[in-house]
Copies of this chain bind each other. A is one copy, B any other.
């Protein structure tokens, strides 16, 4: 029993806070769809995946990674539309191990490297900070209802309806921001995502709904968003995205950008206070057209003893 060789690629979803929305690092590829920083895993050179990943990202995006965690390993045949410069045939299947990396600020990147783009260019339906996105009512929900009706049997119709209800919170159900990946997968299966048509080698279906990425990279980003939106609630992981000192409003804006909806300010602060994660520096930030806010810093040393310990997300409205 011998193991057929497989090519292993490493992908990084590098995220930063950004001015008014969280950003993801992509590498433009001329006329082709942009891609995530990507590189082969070379077992001879790299003792661990993480070491290999850091090397590739710094090489391709001229960028040093800080916080890194493994996301998921993708390997479905048919979903890995080949990147131009990599072989992808049946003999040498490519599987890609996706990583999530968080970085303190969207530092300017040297030319030739990556570019920062807002999450919500790729996932416009995920941004509820200014209320329900129009794209849902105007395009997605009608298309989903058509897709439900198109089902071949009654049983499948019910299954499709339940799935759409759950993931998109239809018919009065609530929107669960953590289901970002589920929503992407549903849009993919229902043909609303350009990549789906591309992978089936058909003419593009609805290319205008959102921006595509190379291969299955948008799926990997959706995985990263889901992970981050979940993890923020039980690990003090937001602080990996913050500068050394920050105002509480700024922190709240970053959290709102991540979860995709507005929070109740006073309750956010009360809960944050109880965690003990931040301490005031005594310094103030002036010049924002209002009462100056105190600058805070993250206390890395707060080794919380017991249980879950993240940021409370007191939804507003």
A residues in contact (CB < 8 Å) with B: 1-9, 39-44, 47-49, 70, 72-73, 75-78, 85-87, 90-95, 97, 162, 165-166, 169, 172-176, 303, 305-307
Q: Would A306 and B174 be within 8 Å (CB), given that A1-B40, A40-B2, A73-B70 are in contact?
A: yes
Contact of A307 among B2, B5, B48, B176 (CB under 8 A): B176
Contact of A75 among B49, B76, B78, B169 (CB under 8 A): B49
Given A5-B7, A85-B1, A176-B307, residue A43 in contact with residue B165 (CB < 8 A)? no
Q: Is the CB of A6 within 8 A of B173?
A: no
Beta-carbon contact of B4 and A42 below 8 Å? yes
Contacts of A93 in B (CB 8 A): 43
State A2–B175 Cα separation when bound (angstroms).
43
The answer for the CA separation of A5 and B7 in the assembled complex, in Å, is 5
Q: How many copies does the complex hold?
A: 2
Top 3 A-B pairs, shortest CB-CB distance: A5-B5, A174-B306, A43-B93
A73 B76 Cβ-Cβ under 8 A: no
Instruction: Report whether B2 and A87 are in contact in the complex, using a CB–CB cutoff of 8 Å.
Output: yes
14 A-B contacts (beta carbon < 8 Å): A1-B39, A1-B85, A1-B86, A2-B40, A4-B43, A5-B92, A6-B7, A8-B95, A44-B91, A48-B75, A49-B73, A162-B303, A169-B305, A173-B303
Residues in B with CB closer than 8 Å to A305 are 166, 169, 172-174
The distance from the CB of A135 to the nearest CB of chain B, in whole angstroms, is 21
Q: Of B3, B70, B173, which one neighbours A86 at CB under 8 angstroms?
A: B3
Identity of the chain B residue whose Cβ is nearest the Cβ of A91 in the assembled complex: B44
Please give the distance in Å from A8's CB to the nearest CB on chain B.
Answer: 5
Chain B residue contacts of A94, Cβ below 8 A = 3
The interface residues of chain B lying within 8 Å CB-to-CB of A70 are 72-73
Residues A5 and B2 in contact, CB atoms below 8 Å apart: no
CB neighbours of A75 from chain B (8 A): 41, 43, 48-49
Residues of B within 8 A of A169 (CB): 305-306
In addition to A3-B7, A5-B7, A43-B90, 5 A-B residue pairs with Cβ atoms within 8 Å of each other are: A3-B87, A4-B40, A4-B44, A47-B77, A169-B305
A95 to B77: give the CA distance in the assembly, Å: 19
Q: With the chains together, A172 CA to B306 CA distance in Å?
A: 10
